[in-house]
Amino acid sequence: MAYLTEAKRIELEAKANEVRMTVIDILEDAGSGHTAGPLGMADIFTALYFHVLNHNPHDPLWEDRDRLVLSNGHIVPIRYAAMAHAGYFSLEEAKTLRQFGSRIQGHPERDRLPSMETTSGPLGSGMSQAAGIAYAARMDGKTFRTYVAMSDAEHQAGNLWEGIMFAGANRLSNLTGVIDRNNIQINGMTEDVLPLEPLREKYEAFNWHVIDIDGHNMEDFVNAVEQAKAIYERPTLIIAHTIPGKGIKEIEFDYRWHGKPPSTEEEQKWLAELRTLQGKIEASHHG
């Protein structure tokens, strides 16, 4: 990967919009699941699968692939949607989300779908697993990079801070963390439930390099990922400030959409909203 060209940026924005539509589609089919987080992370997961990660959807366990660990497993619909668009499995299979016998489990399971890298859902354990992968890779002289996507609220869990401390102490510069800083959690706003701030200073105190970005700005994210590669002897954290439910005006910023799927009626309305946006993006591309 490399820094973004204008054409690539527009292509990624259009792709993110398609991926959002798939998220809404598969959540409505499933009848349960989380909506706000996946929509809020649509831009970053699109950038990851369509620009950042060194990967091969047709050889998902290629040994030199970049690793992406999803710590907050409940936003996995966005990963499924992005991976389906990238060609790991069909959109039809993605629509079996949460169904009996499906590989597309409610929370990701490595043994059913190895390209998930890890099984996750219980919060706070992805950082350490990613650090373990990065540490082992360095032992073997591997040059692939390891990414871990985390929620903000899971930083209330102690296991995560143990992992942050370990990664910083071991100077895992091949590890990049991404926090979905959307400020919501099940019981309300993070700063009301149990304040997380100052997140930047906390990570810096643990020997991390920290970059704040607009999590909906493709260029910001790609630049941050590139910067992380240049940071020596420290892991990098990207705090991606995102809007939960991004793309669907009526649910943006509303914490009540953390853990429920759209109804059929909402699905239709939202898809129409995104199709309008898609038209605008394409018009700007061709214009």
Partner 1 sequence: MIRNDAHIVGNVFDMETLGAAATRDGFGHGVVAAGERNPNVVVVCADLAESTRAQWFRDTFPERYIEVGVAEQNMVTMAAGMAVYGKVPFITSYAAFSPGRNWEQIRTTVCLNDVPVKVMGMHAGISVGPDGATHQPLEDIAIMRAIPRMTVLSPCDAVEAQKAVEAVAVSGKPAYIRFGREKTPLFTSAETPFEIGKAYVAWEQEDPEVAIFATGPLLHNALRAAEQLAQEGVRTIIANIHSIKPMDEACVIDLARRTGAVVTVEEHQVSGGMGSAVAEVLAHNHPTIMKMVGVHDRFGQSGTPEELIEHYGMGIAGIAQAVHGVRAKK
> Nearer Cβ to partner 1, position 135 or 253?
135
121 binds partner 1 (CB under 8 A): yes
Q: Minimum CB separation from partner 1 for residue 162, in Å?
A: 3
Nearer Cβ to partner 1 (35/72): 72
Three-class DSSP category at 97: coil
Backbone angles phi, psi at 78, to 5 degrees: -70, -35
130 interacts with partner 1 by CB under 8 A? yes
* Helix count and strand count (H, E) for the chain: 11, 7
Rounded Cα distance between 21 and 29, Å, is 12
Q: 139 vs 283, which CB is nearer to partner 1?
A: 139
Token pair, residue 144, equals 């692939």
Q: Judged by CB under 8 A, which of 102, 122, 226, 277 binds partner 1?
A: 122
Contacts of residue 133, defined as CB under 8 A and 6 or more positions apart, other chains included, come to 67, 69, 117, 146
Among 120, 182, 236, 242, which residue interacts with partner 1 (rule: CB under 8 A)?
120
For tokens 């038209």, name the residue: 279
- CA gap 179, 284 in Å, rounded: 30
Shortest Å, Cβ 27 to partner 1: 23
Q: How far is it, in rounded angstroms, from Cα 123 to Cα 157?
A: 7
Going residue by residue from 164 to 203, which x/- string records binding to partner 1, judged by CB under 8 A? -xx-------------------------------------
**Is residue 128 a contact point for partner 1 (CB under 8 A)?**
yes
Contacts to partner 1 from residues 91-110, by CB under 8 A: 109-110
- Structural tokens at position 284: 């700007």
Smallest distance from partner 1 to CB 167, Å: 9
Closest CA to 193 of 201, 202, 203, 183: 183
**Rule CB under 8 A: is residue 119 a binding residue for partner 1?**
yes
Closest approach, Cβ 117 to partner 1, in A, equals 6
Fill in the per-residue mask, 66 to 95: x = in contact with partner 1 (CB under 8 A), - = not in contact. Answer: -x-x--------------------------
Report helix, strand or coil for 3: coil
Provide CB contacts within 8 A for 189, sequence distance 6+.
183, 255
Interaction of residue 271 with partner 1, rule CB under 8 A: no
Locate 26 and state its tokens. 């598969």
Binding to partner 1 (CB under 8 A) within 134-153 occurs at: 134-137, 139
What SS3 state is found at 146? strand
Q: Which residues bind partner 1 (CB under 8 A)?
A: 67, 69, 109-111, 117-122, 125, 128-137, 139, 158-159, 162-163, 165-166
